[in-house]
Every structure is written in C-alpha cells, then in structure tokens.
Homo-oligomer: A and B are copies of this chain.
Amino acid sequence: MAKREKSQPTVIPRAAASRLSRYLRYLEELDRNGVTTTSSQALGAALGVTAAQVRKDLGYFGQFGYPGLGYKIAQLTPELRRILGTDKAWNVALVGIGNLGTALLRYKGFSAHGFRIVALFDASPALVGKRVEGNEVHHVDEISARVRECNIELAVLSVPGEAAQAVADRLVEAGIRGIFNFAPALLNLTQEVAYVSIDLALELEQLSFVVTQRERESGL
C-alpha cells in the first residue's frame, strides 16, 4: 500500500489482464448454468493455469474469496466487470469500412460486452455519406469533431496498413484513449493511449510456423 501512496502504479502483466476477461467469461457461463460459487482450482482448470495463478491475478485488485467456500459468483462477476471497465458502456469509433470493418460492425460480441460503435469513418468518396448497418459513414477529416461531440473513448482501426499511422494520429489528437488496430502496421503511439493490435495474417503465420517446426522435429 505504501507503494500506491507514492502513486507508483501497479503494473498488471498483459497475460494476467487477459485472464481477467477469461475468468469473467467462465463465471458468466457458470452463472447461466445455475452455479453460485466456484474456486481458484476450478477457475484455473478452466483456463489451463494453476489455482495459485488465479489467486495472484485476482490479488492485484483485492481479496475476493472466502476461506472454505471459494468465490461467490454473484459477487466476483460485477467486481471483474468493474475492474475491466465493462460495468459501463463505451462509445467506439470504427475507422475503415471495408470488408473487415463491415464485419466488425456486424459482430455481435462487441455490443454484448458494452462496446457501442457510434461513429463510422472512411476516406473513400464511394462510402462517405452512405449508411452501413444504419450508421452514416463520415469522412476521416471529421474524426476530431465527432470524437469530441460523441464522447468517443475507443477506436477500432480497419484501414489499409499505409493509412493507419495518419488515422491513429488524428484519433490521438482528438483525445481517444485506446486503439484496437487491425491494420498490418506497427503504430507509433504516445504512451497515454492504450493499444491492442491484431495482424490476422501474422496470427495465421504462427500456425504455419508451429506446424512446420513440428514436421521438421519429427523428420517429416
């Protein structure tokens, strides 16, 4: 606690943060099945980690378990949502309304977890002014004005790689707090902006890598 008072922020490892989301998914599933309590053993088993790891991950944020009982699902679930920030709705901008962008717009998983795509942007004259899934597409030049106007905190980027940095710069300038990047590009961003990047081809390449390594190990 002394450390916190010196305003030294606790750094939560990325893998631990990702597990928090997975614990929450598992708790939601248990709840749907009418289960009311669980344990660090059970949470760990569901994710393939140890019970000690579960306790360590949750321990960054407080003491949630009861000795001999484990975790009360009705209590831990809202705590995890609060920690993850999904106890509130987030306004999200989507930049790049191509095939991937349109699929992301239609993707039910975002709104189911409180992420509302409230503004669409593209640079293409063929798209600007059109409605996609009921939302008007605005020109990227309007990013700054609309991000402020609609109180948008997060942005999803599905633009071509070569356009990504310029769009990211506009979003940051407009005060965006986090960027979820699908463009195959390494973005140079200020530390203040949270950042998650997925390069789909690169992820698929990880599969071909593992399969290739195994074939070579086994002499195929």
> Which positions in A face B, CB cutoff 8 Å?
7, 9, 12, 14, 17-18, 20-22, 25-26, 46-47, 83-86, 90, 92, 99-100, 102-104, 106-107, 109-110, 112-115, 153-154, 156, 177-180, 184, 186, 192, 194-196, 198-214, 217
Contacts and interface: CB of A to CB of B under 8 A. Distances in A.
Contacts of A208: 84-86, 90, 114-115, 154, 178
A113 B199 CA distance: 12
For the complex of A and B, 8 pairs with smallest distance between CB atoms: A103-B103, A85-B212, A178-B207, A109-B201, A194-B210, A85-B208, A99-B106, A177-B211
A153 to B, nearest CB: 6
B113 A154 contact: no
Given A204-B156, A208-B84, A209-B85, A107 B115 contact: no
Given A202-B25, A205-B113, A194 B211 contact: yes
A211 B107 contact: no
Q: How many copies of the polypeptide does the oligomer hold?
A: 2
A62 to B, nearest CB: 13
Contacts of A7: 217
A25 B20 CA distance: 31
Contacts of A177: 207, 211, 214
Q: Does more than half of chain A's interface fall in helix, strand or loop, or is it mixed?
A: helix
Contacts of A205: 21, 84-86, 113
Nearest to A46: B186
A217 B5 CA distance: 11
A153 B20 CA distance: 33
A202 B156 contact: no
Contacts of A25: 184, 202
A13 B59 CA distance: 27
